Chain A
Amino acid sequence: MTRIFFFPSSFNHLFPHLKKIAHLGIHGLVTGGVVLATIGGIHISPSSNPSDQAEGHKDQHIGVILFLGAYLALFGLHLFLWTQKLVLSVNQLRVSLPHNLFDLVSSFFGCRQILRQLSVALPFLGVRVIYSVLGAFTKAPSKFSSLNGDWRINLVMGLLMEYIVVWTYIYGGMTTTPEEKVESQYYLSQTPSNEAYQVQADGRLRNVYKPGRAV
Protein backbone atom coordinates (compact mmCIF):
# COMPACT_ATOMS: atom_id res chain seq x y z
CA MET A 1 0.00 0.00 0.00
CA THR A 2 2.72 2.39 1.01
CA ARG A 3 4.78 1.53 -2.02
CA ILE A 4 1.87 2.22 -4.31
CA PHE A 5 1.01 5.59 -2.87
CA PHE A 6 4.39 7.07 -2.13
CA PHE A 7 6.21 8.22 -5.18
CA PRO A 8 9.95 7.84 -5.43
CA SER A 9 12.07 10.81 -4.46
CA SER A 10 12.79 11.56 -8.10
CA PHE A 11 9.17 12.66 -8.32
CA ASN A 12 9.92 15.72 -6.23
CA HIS A 13 11.43 17.77 -9.00
CA LEU A 14 8.34 17.18 -11.13
CA PHE A 15 6.01 18.48 -8.49
CA PRO A 16 6.06 22.24 -9.35
CA HIS A 17 5.29 21.47 -12.99
CA LEU A 18 2.45 19.14 -12.08
CA LYS A 19 1.16 21.81 -9.76
CA LYS A 20 1.20 24.39 -12.52
CA ILE A 21 -0.59 22.09 -14.95
CA ALA A 22 -3.26 21.21 -12.39
CA HIS A 23 -3.75 24.87 -11.54
CA LEU A 24 -4.18 25.82 -15.19
CA GLY A 25 -6.60 22.96 -15.76
CA ILE A 26 -8.78 23.85 -12.79
CA HIS A 27 -8.71 27.51 -13.76
CA GLY A 28 -9.76 26.58 -17.26
CA LEU A 29 -12.66 24.49 -15.97
CA VAL A 30 -13.87 27.24 -13.64
CA THR A 31 -13.52 29.95 -16.29
CA GLY A 32 -15.45 27.86 -18.79
CA GLY A 33 -18.12 27.29 -16.17
CA VAL A 34 -18.35 31.01 -15.49
CA VAL A 35 -18.67 31.87 -19.16
CA LEU A 36 -21.29 29.21 -19.81
CA ALA A 37 -23.29 30.12 -16.69
CA THR A 38 -23.31 33.77 -17.75
CA ILE A 39 -24.36 33.03 -21.33
CA GLY A 40 -26.99 30.58 -20.10
CA GLY A 41 -28.29 33.12 -17.61
CA ILE A 42 -28.64 35.72 -20.36
CA HIS A 43 -30.45 33.23 -22.59
CA ILE A 44 -32.79 32.13 -19.82
CA SER A 45 -34.07 35.65 -19.11
CA PRO A 46 -37.89 35.89 -19.25
CA SER A 47 -37.99 38.07 -22.34
CA SER A 48 -36.20 35.63 -24.64
CA ASN A 49 -37.97 33.10 -26.82
CA PRO A 50 -38.33 29.40 -25.82
CA SER A 51 -35.63 28.06 -28.14
CA ASP A 52 -33.13 30.50 -26.65
CA GLN A 53 -34.25 29.49 -23.20
CA ALA A 54 -33.68 25.81 -23.99
CA GLU A 55 -30.21 26.69 -25.24
CA GLY A 56 -29.58 28.69 -22.07
CA HIS A 57 -30.57 25.71 -19.95
CA LYS A 58 -28.17 23.52 -21.88
CA ASP A 59 -25.38 26.06 -21.40
CA GLN A 60 -26.05 26.18 -17.70
CA HIS A 61 -25.99 22.39 -17.50
CA ILE A 62 -22.58 22.30 -19.14
CA GLY A 63 -21.33 25.11 -16.89
CA VAL A 64 -22.44 23.29 -13.76
CA ILE A 65 -20.82 20.09 -15.01
CA LEU A 66 -17.58 22.05 -15.48
CA PHE A 67 -17.86 23.30 -11.89
CA LEU A 68 -18.40 19.74 -10.74
CA GLY A 69 -15.37 18.64 -12.75
CA ALA A 70 -13.27 21.35 -11.14
CA TYR A 71 -14.44 20.24 -7.70
CA LEU A 72 -13.65 16.61 -8.43
CA ALA A 73 -10.20 17.59 -9.71
CA LEU A 74 -9.62 19.61 -6.55
CA PHE A 75 -10.73 16.70 -4.40
CA GLY A 76 -8.45 14.30 -6.24
CA LEU A 77 -5.55 16.70 -5.95
CA HIS A 78 -6.24 17.08 -2.26
CA LEU A 79 -6.17 13.30 -1.77
CA PHE A 80 -2.93 13.21 -3.72
CA LEU A 81 -1.47 15.86 -1.45
CA TRP A 82 -2.40 13.70 1.53
CA THR A 83 -0.35 10.89 0.09
CA GLN A 84 2.45 13.37 -0.58
CA LYS A 85 2.47 15.05 2.76
CA LEU A 86 5.99 13.80 3.31
CA VAL A 87 7.01 16.02 0.46
CA LEU A 88 4.90 18.90 1.63
CA SER A 89 5.51 19.16 5.30
CA VAL A 90 8.37 21.04 6.84
CA ASN A 91 8.46 19.21 10.14
CA GLN A 92 7.16 15.82 9.27
CA LEU A 93 6.82 13.35 12.11
CA ARG A 94 4.94 10.38 10.74
CA VAL A 95 6.31 8.38 7.87
CA SER A 96 3.86 5.50 7.47
CA LEU A 97 0.28 5.55 6.36
CA PRO A 98 -2.22 5.35 9.21
CA HIS A 99 -3.02 1.86 10.43
CA ASN A 100 -5.45 2.58 13.26
CA LEU A 101 -7.55 5.41 14.52
CA PHE A 102 -4.80 6.92 16.65
CA ASP A 103 -2.45 6.92 13.69
CA LEU A 104 -5.12 8.52 11.57
CA VAL A 105 -5.79 11.30 14.06
CA SER A 106 -2.15 11.96 14.79
CA SER A 107 -1.28 12.01 11.11
CA PHE A 108 -4.11 14.46 10.58
CA PHE A 109 -2.69 16.80 13.17
CA GLY A 110 0.92 16.14 12.29
CA CYS A 111 0.39 17.31 8.79
CA ARG A 112 0.66 20.77 7.34
CA GLN A 113 -2.10 23.03 8.48
CA ILE A 114 -3.20 24.03 5.00
CA LEU A 115 -4.02 20.45 4.14
CA ARG A 116 -6.08 20.12 7.29
CA GLN A 117 -8.04 23.24 6.44
CA LEU A 118 -8.63 21.85 2.99
CA SER A 119 -9.88 18.55 4.36
CA VAL A 120 -12.28 20.41 6.60
CA ALA A 121 -13.57 22.68 3.85
CA LEU A 122 -13.90 20.32 0.90
CA PRO A 123 -16.93 18.28 2.11
CA PHE A 124 -18.89 21.49 2.69
CA LEU A 125 -17.86 22.76 -0.73
CA GLY A 126 -19.02 19.44 -2.14
CA VAL A 127 -22.48 19.92 -0.66
CA ARG A 128 -22.59 23.40 -2.19
CA VAL A 129 -21.60 22.04 -5.61
CA ILE A 130 -24.21 19.29 -5.36
CA TYR A 131 -26.80 21.94 -4.52
CA SER A 132 -26.02 23.93 -7.65
CA VAL A 133 -25.98 20.75 -9.76
CA LEU A 134 -29.41 19.80 -8.44
CA GLY A 135 -30.67 23.34 -9.03
CA ALA A 136 -29.53 23.25 -12.64
CA PHE A 137 -30.73 19.76 -13.51
CA THR A 138 -34.16 19.62 -11.90
CA LYS A 139 -37.24 20.89 -13.76
CA ALA A 140 -38.28 24.54 -13.54
CA PRO A 141 -40.38 24.76 -10.32
CA SER A 142 -37.75 22.89 -8.31
CA LYS A 143 -36.97 22.91 -4.65
CA PHE A 144 -33.26 23.36 -5.35
CA SER A 145 -33.46 26.63 -7.25
CA SER A 146 -31.48 29.39 -5.58
CA LEU A 147 -33.98 32.05 -6.64
CA ASN A 148 -37.46 30.58 -6.16
CA GLY A 149 -36.99 27.17 -4.55
CA ASP A 150 -37.22 26.06 -0.96
CA TRP A 151 -35.53 28.68 1.20
CA ARG A 152 -34.59 26.16 3.90
CA ILE A 153 -32.66 24.05 1.43
CA ASN A 154 -31.02 27.21 0.11
CA LEU A 155 -30.07 28.22 3.63
CA VAL A 156 -28.55 24.89 4.63
CA MET A 157 -27.05 23.60 1.40
CA GLY A 158 -26.12 26.92 -0.15
CA LEU A 159 -25.47 29.74 2.26
CA LEU A 160 -24.38 27.81 5.34
CA MET A 161 -21.95 25.62 3.41
CA GLU A 162 -20.42 28.60 1.64
CA TYR A 163 -20.10 30.46 4.90
CA ILE A 164 -18.36 27.56 6.62
CA VAL A 165 -15.93 27.17 3.73
CA VAL A 166 -15.12 30.86 3.64
CA TRP A 167 -14.48 31.07 7.37
CA THR A 168 -12.33 27.94 7.25
CA TYR A 169 -10.12 29.56 4.64
CA ILE A 170 -9.95 32.85 6.48
CA TYR A 171 -9.00 30.99 9.66
CA GLY A 172 -6.28 29.25 7.68
CA GLY A 173 -5.06 32.56 6.33
CA MET A 174 -4.97 34.10 9.78
CA THR A 175 -3.15 31.23 11.48
CA THR A 176 -0.51 30.38 8.90
CA THR A 177 2.78 32.20 8.73
CA PRO A 178 3.26 34.43 5.69
CA GLU A 179 5.36 32.89 2.99
CA GLU A 180 8.21 35.36 3.23
CA LYS A 181 8.66 34.63 6.90
CA VAL A 182 8.66 30.90 6.22
CA GLU A 183 11.31 31.47 3.59
CA SER A 184 13.47 33.61 5.81
CA GLN A 185 13.18 31.15 8.67
CA TYR A 186 14.13 28.31 6.39
CA TYR A 187 17.04 30.29 4.98
CA LEU A 188 18.27 31.27 8.40
CA SER A 189 17.95 27.72 9.64
CA GLN A 190 20.11 26.56 6.73
CA THR A 191 22.87 29.12 7.19
CA PRO A 192 25.90 28.05 9.25
CA SER A 193 25.06 28.99 12.78
CA ASN A 194 26.67 31.98 14.30
CA GLU A 195 26.72 31.46 18.02
CA ALA A 196 26.27 35.12 18.73
CA TYR A 197 22.83 35.24 17.14
CA GLN A 198 19.61 33.33 17.59
CA VAL A 199 16.80 33.11 15.07
CA GLN A 200 13.63 34.37 16.65
CA ALA A 201 10.13 33.13 15.90
CA ASP A 202 9.45 36.07 13.60
CA GLY A 203 12.57 35.38 11.58
CA ARG A 204 14.69 38.22 12.93
CA LEU A 205 18.08 37.75 14.46
CA ARG A 206 18.65 38.36 18.13
CA ASN A 207 22.08 39.09 19.50
CA VAL A 208 22.73 36.67 22.33
CA TYR A 209 26.47 37.13 22.48
CA LYS A 210 27.83 37.53 25.96
CA PRO A 211 31.52 38.14 26.46
CA GLY A 212 31.96 35.59 29.20
CA ARG A 213 30.18 32.80 27.38
CA ALA A 214 32.10 29.86 26.05
CA VAL A 215 31.72 29.66 22.29
Chain B
Amino acid sequence: MKGCLHPPVSKIKSQLERQRYPHSLPLLLPRAILPFPKSINWVQLNRRSPAASQPSLIFGKHIQIWLSLRSTPALPSAMDSLRQKRVNGERILKSRKPWGLSFHCVKDLAIPWILSFRTSHTSTTLTMLNNFGKLAIAEIVFYIPVLAMALVVTIKHGFNRRVGWILLFIFSQGILPFSMFLLSIYSRIVSIVRILGAILSIVSQTSKNPSDGLLTAAGIVQSLGLSPLLLTTAAFVTGM
Protein backbone atom coordinates (compact mmCIF):
# COMPACT_ATOMS: atom_id res chain seq x y z
CA MET B 1 0.00 0.00 0.00
CA LYS B 2 1.96 2.88 -1.28
CA GLY B 3 1.22 6.36 0.00
CA CYS B 4 -0.66 5.17 3.00
CA LEU B 5 -0.19 6.41 6.51
CA HIS B 6 1.41 3.70 8.54
CA PRO B 7 -0.06 3.67 11.98
CA PRO B 8 2.42 3.18 14.77
CA VAL B 9 1.88 -0.06 16.65
CA SER B 10 1.60 1.78 19.94
CA LYS B 11 -1.33 3.77 18.56
CA ILE B 12 -3.20 0.63 17.64
CA LYS B 13 -2.42 -0.83 21.01
CA SER B 14 -3.69 2.23 22.80
CA GLN B 15 -6.79 2.23 20.64
CA LEU B 16 -7.50 -1.37 21.48
CA GLU B 17 -6.99 -0.52 25.11
CA ARG B 18 -9.37 2.37 24.77
CA GLN B 19 -11.86 0.06 23.23
CA ARG B 20 -11.56 -2.13 26.24
CA TYR B 21 -11.76 0.70 28.80
CA PRO B 22 -13.81 3.25 26.91
CA HIS B 23 -13.95 5.97 29.54
CA SER B 24 -10.40 5.94 30.79
CA LEU B 25 -8.79 8.28 28.28
CA PRO B 26 -11.35 11.01 27.59
CA LEU B 27 -11.17 12.06 31.21
CA LEU B 28 -7.67 13.44 30.67
CA LEU B 29 -8.58 16.33 28.38
CA PRO B 30 -11.91 17.88 27.56
CA ARG B 31 -12.75 17.31 23.94
CA ALA B 32 -13.38 20.95 23.17
CA ILE B 33 -9.76 22.01 23.50
CA LEU B 34 -8.26 19.06 21.63
CA PRO B 35 -6.89 20.06 18.21
CA PHE B 36 -7.78 16.65 16.79
CA PRO B 37 -10.80 14.41 17.15
CA LYS B 38 -11.09 12.31 20.25
CA SER B 39 -10.33 9.01 18.61
CA ILE B 40 -8.17 8.75 15.52
CA ASN B 41 -9.29 5.75 13.57
CA TRP B 42 -6.00 4.49 12.29
CA VAL B 43 -7.43 1.27 10.95
CA GLN B 44 -10.02 2.97 8.77
CA LEU B 45 -7.44 5.50 7.72
CA ASN B 46 -5.38 2.69 6.20
CA ARG B 47 -8.34 1.46 4.23
CA ARG B 48 -8.87 4.82 2.60
CA SER B 49 -7.78 5.36 -0.97
CA PRO B 50 -4.19 6.49 -1.43
CA ALA B 51 -5.40 9.57 -3.26
CA ALA B 52 -6.88 10.89 -0.11
CA SER B 53 -3.48 11.26 1.46
CA GLN B 54 -1.64 12.67 -1.58
CA PRO B 55 0.31 15.81 -0.67
CA SER B 56 -1.01 18.65 -2.82
CA LEU B 57 -0.07 21.70 -0.82
CA ILE B 58 2.37 22.16 1.99
CA PHE B 59 -0.28 21.95 4.64
CA GLY B 60 -2.93 20.50 2.35
CA LYS B 61 -2.10 16.99 3.38
CA HIS B 62 -2.63 17.78 7.00
CA ILE B 63 -5.87 19.59 6.23
CA GLN B 64 -7.06 16.59 4.21
CA ILE B 65 -6.19 14.23 7.00
CA TRP B 66 -7.89 16.51 9.47
CA LEU B 67 -11.06 16.64 7.37
CA SER B 68 -11.14 12.91 6.78
CA LEU B 69 -10.59 12.27 10.42
CA ARG B 70 -13.41 14.60 11.31
CA SER B 71 -15.73 12.72 9.00
CA THR B 72 -14.83 9.20 10.06
CA PRO B 73 -16.77 7.88 12.99
CA ALA B 74 -14.89 6.43 15.93
CA LEU B 75 -14.56 2.72 16.33
CA PRO B 76 -17.56 1.26 18.09
CA SER B 77 -16.53 0.69 21.65
CA ALA B 78 -17.65 -2.05 23.99
CA MET B 79 -19.94 0.37 25.77
CA ASP B 80 -21.60 1.28 22.48
CA SER B 81 -22.68 -2.28 21.90
CA LEU B 82 -24.23 -2.22 25.33
CA ARG B 83 -25.93 1.05 24.62
CA GLN B 84 -27.41 -0.13 21.33
CA LYS B 85 -31.15 -0.06 20.99
CA ARG B 86 -33.31 -1.31 18.12
CA VAL B 87 -35.88 1.03 16.68
CA ASN B 88 -37.82 -0.36 13.68
CA GLY B 89 -35.17 -2.97 13.12
CA GLU B 90 -32.45 -0.32 12.95
CA ARG B 91 -29.68 -0.14 15.47
CA ILE B 92 -29.28 3.25 17.10
CA LEU B 93 -27.29 4.37 20.08
CA LYS B 94 -28.99 5.43 23.23
CA SER B 95 -28.05 8.79 24.69
CA ARG B 96 -24.51 8.75 25.93
CA LYS B 97 -25.15 10.04 29.44
CA PRO B 98 -28.49 8.90 30.78
CA TRP B 99 -28.23 11.10 33.88
CA GLY B 100 -31.53 12.50 35.00
CA LEU B 101 -31.11 15.67 37.05
CA SER B 102 -27.37 15.95 36.95
CA PHE B 103 -25.12 18.86 37.73
CA HIS B 104 -24.87 19.74 34.04
CA CYS B 105 -28.61 19.71 33.69
CA VAL B 106 -29.04 22.11 36.61
CA LYS B 107 -26.15 24.24 35.46
CA ASP B 108 -27.46 24.55 31.90
CA LEU B 109 -30.83 25.68 33.21
CA ALA B 110 -29.63 27.87 36.04
CA ILE B 111 -26.87 29.91 34.43
CA PRO B 112 -29.00 31.37 31.59
CA TRP B 113 -31.74 32.01 34.12
CA ILE B 114 -29.39 33.94 36.39
CA LEU B 115 -27.94 35.80 33.42
CA SER B 116 -31.44 36.75 32.32
CA PHE B 117 -31.98 38.68 35.54
CA ARG B 118 -30.44 41.79 34.02
CA THR B 119 -32.78 42.21 31.11
CA SER B 120 -35.80 39.98 31.21
CA HIS B 121 -39.14 40.19 32.95
CA THR B 122 -37.64 38.71 36.11
CA SER B 123 -35.98 42.02 36.85
CA THR B 124 -39.33 43.76 36.85
CA THR B 125 -40.57 41.28 39.44
CA LEU B 126 -37.44 41.83 41.49
CA THR B 127 -37.75 45.60 41.40
CA MET B 128 -41.31 45.28 42.65
CA LEU B 129 -40.01 43.58 45.77
CA ASN B 130 -38.45 45.50 48.60
CA ASN B 131 -35.66 44.02 50.71
CA PHE B 132 -38.10 41.91 52.69
CA GLY B 133 -39.41 40.38 49.49
CA LYS B 134 -35.88 39.55 48.37
CA LEU B 135 -35.21 38.04 51.78
CA ALA B 136 -38.35 35.97 51.27
CA ILE B 137 -37.00 34.61 48.02
CA ALA B 138 -33.76 33.73 49.76
CA GLU B 139 -35.78 32.11 52.51
CA ILE B 140 -37.61 29.87 50.06
CA VAL B 141 -34.33 28.83 48.45
CA PHE B 142 -32.66 28.15 51.78
CA TYR B 143 -35.54 26.29 53.38
CA ILE B 144 -36.08 23.74 50.60
CA PRO B 145 -32.99 21.70 51.63
CA VAL B 146 -34.15 22.01 55.23
CA LEU B 147 -37.44 20.45 54.21
CA ALA B 148 -35.69 17.61 52.41
CA MET B 149 -33.32 16.89 55.27
CA ALA B 150 -36.13 16.98 57.82
CA LEU B 151 -37.93 14.37 55.73
CA VAL B 152 -34.79 12.25 55.72
CA VAL B 153 -34.53 12.54 59.52
CA THR B 154 -38.17 11.55 59.87
CA ILE B 155 -37.66 8.50 57.72
CA LYS B 156 -34.51 7.61 59.64
CA HIS B 157 -36.14 7.78 63.03
CA GLY B 158 -39.32 6.07 61.96
CA PHE B 159 -42.90 7.17 61.63
CA ASN B 160 -44.29 5.18 64.50
CA ARG B 161 -42.53 4.40 67.73
CA ARG B 162 -42.57 0.93 69.16
CA VAL B 163 -42.85 1.21 72.90
CA GLY B 164 -42.33 -2.06 74.71
CA TRP B 165 -41.60 -3.08 78.23
CA ILE B 166 -37.90 -2.82 77.55
CA LEU B 167 -38.36 0.86 76.82
CA LEU B 168 -40.36 1.27 80.01
CA PHE B 169 -37.59 -0.52 81.88
CA ILE B 170 -34.99 1.78 80.40
CA PHE B 171 -37.07 4.82 81.22
CA SER B 172 -37.55 3.72 84.77
CA GLN B 173 -33.81 3.25 85.04
CA GLY B 174 -33.45 6.85 83.98
CA ILE B 175 -31.49 6.24 80.84
CA LEU B 176 -33.33 8.37 78.38
CA PRO B 177 -33.29 7.64 74.66
CA PHE B 178 -34.62 10.86 73.22
CA SER B 179 -37.30 10.52 70.64
CA MET B 180 -36.41 12.31 67.46
CA PHE B 181 -39.74 11.58 65.85
CA LEU B 182 -41.70 14.65 66.92
CA LEU B 183 -38.59 16.69 66.56
CA SER B 184 -38.29 15.87 62.89
CA ILE B 185 -41.98 16.53 62.27
CA TYR B 186 -41.70 19.90 63.93
CA SER B 187 -38.67 20.87 61.94
CA ARG B 188 -40.60 20.02 58.80
CA ILE B 189 -43.42 22.25 60.00
CA VAL B 190 -40.88 25.01 60.61
CA SER B 191 -39.68 24.82 57.04
CA ILE B 192 -43.21 24.65 55.63
CA VAL B 193 -44.29 27.64 57.70
CA ARG B 194 -41.25 29.62 56.65
CA ILE B 195 -41.78 28.83 52.98
CA LEU B 196 -45.48 29.66 53.24
CA GLY B 197 -44.75 32.97 54.97
CA ALA B 198 -42.18 33.87 52.35
CA ILE B 199 -44.60 33.10 49.52
CA LEU B 200 -47.30 35.15 51.19
CA SER B 201 -45.05 38.17 51.64
CA ILE B 202 -43.88 37.94 48.03
CA VAL B 203 -47.46 37.74 46.79
CA SER B 204 -48.55 40.65 48.98
CA GLN B 205 -45.72 42.77 47.64
CA THR B 206 -46.05 41.92 43.97
CA SER B 207 -49.82 42.29 43.72
CA LYS B 208 -50.96 45.82 42.98
CA ASN B 209 -53.90 45.90 45.37
CA PRO B 210 -53.13 43.36 48.10
CA SER B 211 -56.27 42.54 50.02
CA ASP B 212 -56.44 43.01 53.76
CA GLY B 213 -56.83 39.27 54.21
CA LEU B 214 -53.57 38.65 52.41
CA LEU B 215 -51.69 41.18 54.53
CA THR B 216 -53.24 39.74 57.67
CA ALA B 217 -52.30 36.21 56.67
CA ALA B 218 -48.72 37.29 55.94
CA GLY B 219 -48.45 38.96 59.34
CA ILE B 220 -49.93 35.99 61.19
CA VAL B 221 -47.70 33.46 59.47
CA GLN B 222 -44.65 35.61 60.19
CA SER B 223 -45.55 35.75 63.86
CA LEU B 224 -46.33 32.04 64.03
CA GLY B 225 -42.92 31.02 62.69
CA LEU B 226 -41.52 30.90 66.19
CA SER B 227 -43.96 28.38 67.63
CA PRO B 228 -42.89 25.21 65.77
CA LEU B 229 -39.30 26.09 66.58
CA LEU B 230 -40.17 26.21 70.28
CA LEU B 231 -42.09 22.94 69.98
CA THR B 232 -39.08 21.36 68.30
CA THR B 233 -36.92 22.45 71.20
CA ALA B 234 -39.51 21.08 73.61
CA ALA B 235 -39.36 17.73 71.83
CA PHE B 236 -35.60 17.91 72.13
CA VAL B 237 -35.63 18.72 75.84
CA THR B 238 -38.30 16.37 77.06
CA GLY B 239 -37.81 13.64 74.50
CA MET B 240 -41.49 13.10 73.92
Chain A interface residues toward B at CB < 8 A: 12-13, 15-16, 19-20, 22-23, 26-27, 30, 33-34, 37-38, 40-42, 44-47, 60, 63, 67, 70-71, 74, 77-78, 81, 87-90, 112, 114, 117-118, 121-122, 125, 128-129, 132, 136, 146-148, 151, 154-155, 159, 162-163, 165-167, 169-170, 172-174, 176, 178-180, 182-183, 186-187
Contact = CB atoms under 8 A, between A and B. Distances in A.
A47 B227 contact: no
A88 B212 contact: no
Nearest to A11: B174
Contacts of B229: 125, 128, 162, 165-166
Interface in B217-236: 218-220, 222-227, 229-234, 236
B216 A88 contact: no
A171 to B, nearest CB: 9
A173 B233 contact: no
Interface in B187-240: 187, 190-191, 194, 201, 212-213, 215-216, 218-220, 222-227, 229-234, 236-240
12 contacts: A45-B219, A63-B223, A74-B230, A90-B175, A122-B233, A154-B135, A162-B229, A170-B146, A173-B187, A174-B149, A179-B180, A186-B170
A46 B216 CA distance: 8
B231 A41 contact: no
Contact of A183 (B130, B166, B174): B166
B230 A67 contact: yes
A169 B220 contact: no
B113 interface: no
Contacts of A78: 237
A20 B237 CA distance: 11
Most chain B CB atoms below 10 A, which of A45, A60, A70, A155: A45
Contacts of B23: none
Nearest to B130: A151
Contacts, number: 186
B21 interface: no
In this complex, the interface size class of chain B, counting residues with CB under 8 Å from chain A, is 35 or more
Contacts of A132: 223, 226
Contacts of B152: 174
Nearest to B204: A147
Interface of B: 130-132, 135, 138-139, 142, 146, 149-150, 152-153, 156-158, 161-162, 164, 166-167, 170-181, 183-184, 187, 190-191, 194, 201, 212-213, 215-216, 218-220, 222-227, 229-234, 236-240
A185 to B, nearest CB: 10
Nearest to B162: A180
A67 B158 contact: no
Given A146-B223, A173-B184, A74 B237 contact: yes
A42 to B, nearest CB: 6
A149 B164 CA distance: 51
What 4 pairs between A and B have smallest CB-CB spacing?
A173-B153, A41-B220, A151-B131, A12-B174
